[in-house]
Amino acid sequence: MEDPAIRSFDPSMLGDAMARRLYRRSVVTAQITVPAVPSMIDEYITMCANVFAAAGVQYTAEQSAQLKTVLAAELAKAYTTSHRSNIVISFHAPFGITMNYRVATESVTIGGAYDGWVATRGEGPLFGVEPDARVWALAGEAADPAAHPILDVGAGTGRNALALARRGHPVDAVEMSPKFADIIRAEAQRESLPVRVLDGDVFETMDGVRRDYQTIILAEVVPDFRTTAELRGIFELATDFLAPGGRLVFNSFLARRSYTPDSAALELGQQCNTMIFTRDELATAASELPLHLIADDSACEYEKAHLPDGAWPPTDWFEGWAHGLDVFDLEPQDSPIELRWLVYQKDLP
């Protein structure tokens, strides 16, 4: 029988044994806050498993299935509430080998997200200094700005609306973020500009407005949509409120012709202000309305070529976002989506 006093021990084995005890004597508190994307639930499970492994927690297949059930329910609730919602997963491993966790929803509306941008922004403009080159070029075709009224939907901080009003256009600006609306209103009053600010959602705040707009603008608005029904609503709004010959200009992320986005891409895109439409969906949304497409340009290429010297890029985030890189961690040329400027004209009687 071997004498315990002279038995040899494997240092590696002993080191592993001490490490297990070290893990079990640790107290772990962690939190993951991640966008709510129901179709990517397996990625959430992997994140949690990595936290468990880092804490030395024993994690069974049954526990993984239970966690997946909890996450699925919370993800569905969060995504239904708002496509800007987050999932917050809190972990606590007390002394030992078990892990307690809690899954909660952190809901953020689009208006609330924009108000947060205003409250937390650092130096520099939120959306750029100059008006969009595509918008400016269309407005510049008007011989008499005073006879060329414009509706700016989702006007933000007024980058387009204020510049167009300075040029002499009567401008109605619709903005759902109260803080953005206040910024436009204050600047318009300070400069005595012909800008009327309408607070709220464009689909709910159009009572009493004119029906002879020459241009309707939606810059960086359609990427916040969730459904093709909203896109159809914009085409119907243009039909109702544009003068004959007037034009609707907006930018939208379109899938390249060889790519059909799946549910995960659509859901993550909505989290990143990057709602993706296909060209078939675009055509269906505009079908049987007195509108026809007259221009279709890459937003990046057009703005880069036509903005004033020194104004490109308008922000440090614009170029990557416009190439779809907020959704796809790829080189720009490999991205399956792109932000496009689309211009429709209302038919003449």
Under 8 Å between Cβ of 151 and 174: yes
The domain locations on the chain are 12-106, 110-346
Q: What is the mean pLDDT of the chain?
A: 91
Higher pLDDT, 127 or 132: 132
Sign of CA dihedral 116, 117, 118, 119: positive
Q: Could you report the per-residue pLDDT of 22-59, keeping only the tens digit for each?
A: 877 777 888 999 999 999 999 999 999 988 888 778 77
Report d(CA 27, CA 83) in Å as an integer: 34
Interval 314-319 mean pLDDT: 94
The CATH code of domain 110-346 reads 3.40.50.150
Interval 246-256 mean pLDDT: 98
Interval 173-191 mean pLDDT: 94
Query: Which of 49, 162, 23, 176 minimizes the C-alpha distance to 101?
Result: 49
Exposure of 3 in the CB half-sphere (CA atoms within 13 A): 2
Per-residue pLDDT at 3: 60
| Cβ atoms within 10 Å, residue 189 | 11
